Amino acid sequence: MAHNFDVIVIGGGPGGYVCAIRAAQLGLKTACIESRGTLGGTCLNIGCIPSKSLLNLSENYHKAKKDFNQQGIEIGEVKINIDKMMSTKNKSVQVLTKGVEFLFKKNKVTYIKGKGVLFSKNDVVVYNDNKKEQYITKNIVIATGSEVATLPGIKIDEKNIISSTGALSLKKIPKKLVIIGGGYIGLEMGSVWSRLGTEVTVVEYLDHITPGMDREISSEFQKILSKQGIKFKLNSKVTSVKNQNDSVIVDFVNKDSSKGSLKADKVLVSIGRKPYTEGLNLSKIGVKKDSKGKIEVNEKLQTSVQNIYAIGDVIKGPMLAHKAEEEGIAVAEILAGQAGHVNYDVIPGVVYTSPEVATVGKTEEQLKSQSQSYKVGKFPFLANSRAKVNNETEGFVKILADSKTDKVLGVHIIGPHCGEMIAEMALAMEFGASAEDIARTCHAHPTHTEAIKEAALAVDKRPIHF
């Protein structure tokens, strides 16, 4: 027996579940299909949320072990109980996934467990174990997310050669960890295990870490991580990764053609993610993809088939949970006849290391390549009173503004709590603020956010405290 819906969302990650909830709020009869068995997608189950739990716990441990005694908080021997730490992480994930399920019930979204396959533009069949069920719908939203990208010839076994999923569930602290790829996921995982006592080496193909980030921030970030004990092999192409007894051997070639080799207990392959659209029957239905496997969409997030939409990691733009959420809400509102919209110029990105790195808008390199004339305002946390008293003085705020209009074009921060601070600048940019607007907004004292005000003053070469 077929069930009829106004909209079926395939995928229950941040994009999919948010889209389903908003569509239901707007009066559409909505279902969400998820094959994982729990809602929340990669982000909630094996990504953002568990990694932030481990980052927080490992940072607390590191502070207790390294900083407290110097600051007059004297404690005895500090020990790590890795089982308890993993259990704390797992509990957080469980509570949050159950929370999404509750939100579905509250908003009357039909939650369907299983794998959804498109048989026509209005016909979705869901396979769950040996059962299959047919659903008829007016509209379909594809929100199936992404999966770990791999290197040719390297097999991830999640034992010694691991992905980020494996790095979130190690049973014991490795002595040596090699990370292939200097992007934010690898660096976050590297930070966790480095703080817990692992010797971490990052092998990166490019001559800098965090590709796409403002280069000045990227260089500072690498300096800080190096000071924390993380080693870097840049300009290095990995040629093979092999299990050898209980170790893993990573062979690589430098830009100058010299060869190198590293031996580790674990190797984390962290070279990015790729869209997951396998088994959906998209080509048969006529949904077009680009050369990178991303689903092509127009400004209304419609695919080449009019009533089929796509959001999140399967389409253009950064693979970020909050970007997928924005698209999910936009699609739901478009389906309800409203004017849904996503401003791709103002999507913040955060690396949750210590210190954090946060960015929104254009980098200096992008502005140069677009021949855009701009001014720069910078302010170091070393001159910020709250950062000073908290012993969190690394990093700086950098604001890029249009030379003629003073409109803020990009903001890049490395420093304490900047993952929270970036929201102020995203809001400012959404409203088209100038650096002068930020500089003339009264910021509470003493706070880290005063560094933003000072950087805005510095755009006009008039900071007070530096």
> Which residue numbers are catalytic?
445
| CA-to-CA dists, residue 312 to 229, 297, 320, 352, angstroms | 35, 11, 8, 21
Query: Distance between CA atoms of 265 and 23, rounded to whole angstroms?
Result: 47
Helix or strand (DSSP H, E) at 116: strand 115-120
Query: Distance between CA atoms of 205 and 211, rounded to whole angstroms?
Result: 10
Query: Distance between CA atoms of 448 and 387, rounded to whole angstroms?
Result: 6
Q: Where are the alpha helices (DSSP H) in 26-176?
A: 41-46, 48-66, 82-106, 164-167
The conformation of residue 303, written as its DSSP 8-state character, comes to: -
3-state secondary structure (DSSP) of residue 1: coil
Q: 306: exposed, middle or buried (C-beta count within 10 Å: 0-12, 13-18, 19+)?
A: exposed
Cα torsion through 9, 15, 20, 22, rounded to 10 = -150
Tell me if 206 sits within 8 A of 222, measured CB to CB. Answer: no
Tell me if 448 sits within 8 A of 391, measured CB to CB. Answer: no
Query: Distance between CA atoms of 97 and 40, rounded to whole angstroms?
Result: 6
460, 343, 366: which is closest to 406 by C-alpha?
A: 460
Tell me if 126 sits within 8 A of 33, measured CB to CB. Answer: yes
Query: Distance between CA atoms of 424 and 446, rounded to whole angstroms?
Result: 17
Query: Distance between CA atoms of 220 and 135, rounded to whole angstroms?
Result: 53
Bridge-partner residues for 201, per DSSP?
A: 178, 231
Separation of CA 289 from chain center: 23
